[in-house]
Amino acid sequence: MKIFIAGASGAIGGHLVPQLVARGHEVVGTTRSAAKTAALRALGAEPVIVDALDPDSVADAVARAEPEVIVHQLTALSGPPDFRHVKRMAEATDRLRTEGTDHLLAAARAAGVGRFVAQSNAMWMERSGGPVADEDGRIEPNPPADIARSVAALRHLEEAVTGITWGDGIALRYGGFYGPGTGISAEPGAVMTEQIGRRKFPIVGGGGGVWSLVHITDAASATVAAIERGKPGIYHVADDEPASVRDWLPELARALGAKPPRRVPAPLVRLLAGKGPVDLMTRARGVSSEKIKRELGWAPRHPTWRTGFTEGLR
């Protein structure tokens, strides 16, 4: 198939593009930066520079590409997490998940695209119903005020994509990425790895928030499965072992050769960084990926972060 990947130069694009090319697909990949076109070409994609917030730029690129599938991987999450300025840090990604999604969907409909696959996020599942949610679970309806705009942007993306009637709309709720090309890897410059090494990524409160993680190559292979044979709706993409922050974060620090993470009282973090980061660290729910395994035959190469941290960070 001919596949148009919006945001192909991001973390997942570096793994998704070569997997698709290896399977015989033709890939057109967008980037905002001319400096990244050579890297996309080296991966096997035809690069195109697109401003995802300009509807005319998006419509023109999609019309020229004439794809059968559009994959929405647009984010603006590079750089170190700034928990003291959560709203400002997330603003660009929020616009890509709202305005950017709408522009891509309009272009897809005009071009007769049959399938639309979009990146969502599993970190903000509704904070009730047990430690692990399946796809029947919804995005948290009452998030902390300082993160409400970002959660609403996720909700907008999912509703817009899965609500299309002219094609197959698929939203992938990914767990937290780790591995080469992400912020958690053994590569120089990996931003979260550096923060963990400096003990600036602490366990907040009791660290009881449950996170689902996924190696970036597994996230890419799940996306390939959704592109090739997914059904309209939502799929969770994560490994088989959701775990509390207090369990997985010390293991990650150990795998990186760093000192154990500090422990910081929740009220202090709430005062300095707001309620959103505290909620993620203390109330988050994990997700089950049984649906994508059952329906699409996907299986992660790293079924647990325990081996993934020791074998898959390089």
pLDDT digit string, tens, across residues 121-151: 999 999 999 999 999 999 999 999 999 999 9
Q: Render pLDDT for 243-278 as a digit per residue (tens, 0 to 9).
A: 999 999 999 999 999 999 999 999 999 999 999 999
Q: What is the DSSP letter of 99?
A: I
Q: Render pLDDT for 170-208 as a digit per residue (tens, 0 to 9).
A: 999 999 999 999 999 999 889 999 999 999 999 999 999
Q: Beta strands of 63-103 (E only): which ranges?
A: 69-72
Q: Are 34 and 51 in contact (CB under 8 A)?
A: no
Q: Are 30 and 8 in contact (CB under 8 A)?
A: yes
pLDDT, mean over the chain: 95
Q: What is the DSSP letter of 259?
A: P
Q: What is the pLDDT of residue 82?
A: 52
Enter the pTM of the model.
Answer: 0.95
Q: What is the pLDDT of residue 28?
A: 98
**∠103-108-113 over CA atoms, to 5°?**
165
Please state the rounded mean pLDDT for residues 291-298: 98
CATH class, 2-311 region: alpha beta
- CA-nearest of 127, 160, 153, 162 to 142 is 127
Residue 86 has pLDDT above 60, yes or no: no
* Torsion 282-131-219-224 (CA) sign: negative
Question: What are φ and ψ of residue 119, in 5° steps?
Answer: -80, 120
